[in-house]
Amino acid sequence: MTALPTAESLRPAIAEITESVFATMLEFAVRPLEPVPGEEAFAMTAAVYYVGAWNGALLLECSQRQAREWGARLMGIPPPASQEDASDSLGELCNVLAGNLKPMLPPGVALSAPSVVAGADYSLSVCGSLRETLRFAGPDAPFRVVLIFK
């Protein structure tokens, strides 16, 4: 039986995938930052859920301004993107991150469609879950990628 991935084993992959996806899709460099305990919630969160042989969720959290700028950049339109375009783009970025992480998970894991929440007053839990939070420096402000899993 293959051992299930751990937070420690997935952390480097998440960092590498995030750097690669942002360089490819948005054409700018991001780099990992040290976590900040108690950091305030971000205004927008995209989530993609993993189900099957391994259960969890990958979240991409950023400010509304970042989501609008990323959306404009991704769609090739003048910034800022509309709220709808920002949500669609944030969901697509999260979907690509989650899809690129999937090969590191056990066979038989499926991905959900992305969902996006605007606002910081919400809570998400996966029963019996652990969290691995990675902070990144973007061109103008930090953002987070969070893996929640059993």
Q: Which among 62, 59, 39, 146 is positioned nearest to 74, based on CA atoms?
A: 62
Mean pLDDT within 123-134: 79
What pLDDT is recorded for position 97?
A: 98
User: What pLDDT digit, counting tens, does each position of 31-40 carry?
Assistant: 999 988 888 8
User: What pLDDT digit, counting tens, does each position of 83-118 carry?
Assistant: 999 999 999 999 999 999 999 999 999 999 999 999
d(C-alpha 93, C-alpha 63), whole Å: 14
> Residue 2: pLDDT band by 50, 70, 90 thresholds?
low
What pLDDT is recorded for position 1?
A: 46
Q: Is the pTM of this model over 0.85?
A: yes
Is CATH 4.10.780.10 correct for 7-35+44-149?
no
Domain ranges of the chain: 7-35+44-149
Residues facing 145 on adjacent strands: 60, 134
Reported as type and span, the H/E element at residue 15 is helix 7-21
